[in-house]
Structure 1
Amino acid sequence: MNGAAARVAVACGCELGEGPQWHAAAGRLYWCDILGRRLHWLDPASGATGHQELDQMVSLAVPIAGGGLLMVGEERLARLDPTTGALETFCDFEADKVLTRSNDGRVDRHGSLWLSSMGKGAEPGAGSLYRLHRGELARLRSGLTIPNAICFSPGGEAAWFTDTASGVVMRWALDREGWPVGEPAPWADFSAHPGNPDGAVVDAEGHLWLALWGAGRVVRLDPRGREVDAILLPTSQPSCPAFGGKRLERLYITTAREGMDSARRREEPDAGHLFVAEAGVPGLAEPALRLA
């Protein structure tokens, strides 16, 4: 393990940075500040950055096949035109549950979006896991606390996810249409390790890169769930990694300063920034979301 160090890519100061997504067609990385209600973007080729203010807490902005982004928010899913900033509601998302918000999500190998909800105060069992398949939203699992680490094997035969509070990453077998088969099985147990499993992404070799919230690390796990490499950060709360760049050669990592008191924020001045690291292996290209 080389224990490579990450450096600041954008000093964005997110309260809760989350949901980094590479938009290949636009050459941009998008990520959200959930609590700050902002959508951020970076063009790595030019170094240009920007953000858009939002009217709800949004955790994810995924590229849509045919153009635009789907914004995953606390009460609805909405289509965003990044060039104009125009938003159009696509469907409600737990709009009747005022105590929940959206959290982690990722597009699977079939172009369908897996997305999750959680209690705004991380209330036990308030969260659920869903799949948006061809425009129809189906709930896959409920009774979760902080659903995270949603990602998929290169061949689409398995999904991973975790309930961060449990400390255990689960592996779930999928059928040929990408739907879960049977019950998920424990795959990697971090319950006795520093940090809690948060967001994750899969690289071109089928290894999983997992953010460990509280430990200041993003670990690389082989197909058997064993740690084989790590990225070190100068701040303790990494939330989610994503590969970006023209050849998916860089690993971007969102972080957070949520829950830090003033003393802790002085100790970790880079908390909430977007980081980048050289992973030594390229990422796996992810399909755009198909809504029909």
Structure 2
Amino acid sequence: MTITSAQAPATTEPTLETLPVAVLCEERCHLGEGPSYDAARDTAWWFDILEKRLCEARLAGGAVTVHSLPFMASALAMVDDRRQLLLTENGLVLRDIAGGRLEPVADIEAGNPATRSNDGRVHPSGTFWISTMGRHAEREAGTIYAYRDGAVAPLFPGITIPNAICFSPDGTLGYFADTKANRLHRVRLDPATGLPLESPSVLRVHTGAGGFDGAVTDAEDLVWCAIWGGGRLEAYTPAGDLVRSVAVPARQTSCPVFVGPAFDRVLVTSAFENMDEAARAADPHHGKTFLLDIGVRGHAEPRVRLGGA
């Protein structure tokens, strides 16, 4: 992967904000990740990767259902009103929402048992950016792929922990991070296909506690990124400037998504992976899932295009 340098971001750091927050789900996730939002049903979905669980929350009433899966899964895209496409350790799998029936769609690194799936998000064109990583975070074992119209193609290999996959609302910019290297990247895209037009550049290097994890963009082009180990969300401009920092009541904050009919709240997952008893006691909300009011609006998650769609 060829990386070029972007203009250095501003050095002035915003004050950490403490805003209204509610616990959406008290059920603790070993590794909560991959939240998405189905606006038609006012329903949020997220995974507990390591425990092979898919969580479903009806936001209007607050009811949460936990579905067991036969594999680890880490990201979800809506196909239509009946089906979801899951990114799993076995590749891409269709899931029937009503009955839970599973149907394999595409293998991803099927011959490499040392890797599993990780982050993913759908581009406005319907292309699904998906990723892999080493099961023990082996150095540069991960790759970001594009799934478009039934075909899987590699985009960026040699990533240790791919995260922060998200896109500008107009589809012209893509973002991703390597959590291990603590670098957030930006790349110019063809808005009609979601495919790169150039090599990525380094948008920002994280310093201090924690590292870049999952991310989502808002309606004004800001990138909202969870800081794993930092207990917060950070918002960056497309130029890489840090403009807001919002506290989350769990240290291992993992991924955000905008939810609600107006996309004016943020669901944030968290985890207790690799935390010993003392660390959990010091972080009483570890692994819970939260709703935050951050005072900005997001946008709907696009649906993924299957082959022949």
Which category describes the TM-score, using the shorter chain as reference length?
over 0.9
Mapping of residues 176-187 of structure 1, within 5 Å = 176=191, 177-187=193-203
Are 1:278 and 2:293 matched, yes or no? yes
Match of 1:4 in 2: 18
User: In 2, are the aligned partners of 1:31 and 1:60 still within 8 Å (CA)?
Assistant: yes
User: In 1, are the aligned partners of 2:37 and 2:258 still within 8 Å (CA)?
Assistant: yes
TM-score w.r.t. the length of structure 2 is 0.91
1:94-139 Cα offsets, whole Å, 9 max, x none, are: 2211111100000001011000000010000110000001111111
Counterpart secondary structure, 1:265: helix
Counterpart secondary structure, 1:154: coil
Partner Cα distance (1:287, 1:28) in 2: 15
Match of 2:222 in 1: 207
Match of 1:254 in 2: 269
Counterpart secondary structure, 1:223: coil
1:133-176 Cα offsets, whole Å, 9 max, x none, are: 11111111111100000000121111000111111100011124
User: In 1, are the aligned partners of 2:168 and 2:174 still within 8 Å (CA)?
Assistant: yes
Give the alignment's Cα RMSD to 1 decimal.
1.2
User: In 2, are the aligned partners of 1:4 and 1:277 still within 8 Å (CA)?
Assistant: no
1:210-234 Cα offsets, whole Å, 9 max, x none, are: 1111110101112222121122122
Partner Cα distance (1:79, 1:35) in 2: 20
**Aligned pairs, number:** 291
Are 1:48 and 2:25 matched, yes or no? no
Partner Cα distance (1:110, 1:66) in 2: 18
Counterpart secondary structure, 1:263: helix
Are 1:188 and 2:185 matched, yes or no? no
1:246-291 Cα offsets, whole Å, 9 max, x none, are: 1111101010000000111122121111011001011122211111
Partner Cα distance (1:141, 1:77) in 2: 18
Percent of aligned pairs with the same amino acid: 40
Unaligned runs of 5+ in 2: 1-14
Match of 1:125 in 2: 140
Counterpart secondary structure, 2:180: helix
Unaligned runs of 5+ in 1: none
User: In 2, are the aligned partners of 1:231 and 1:277 still within 8 Å (CA)?
Assistant: no
User: Among 177, 200, 224, which residue is 2:239 paired with?
Assistant: 224
TM-score w.r.t. the length of structure 1 is 0.96
Match of 2:97 in 1: 82
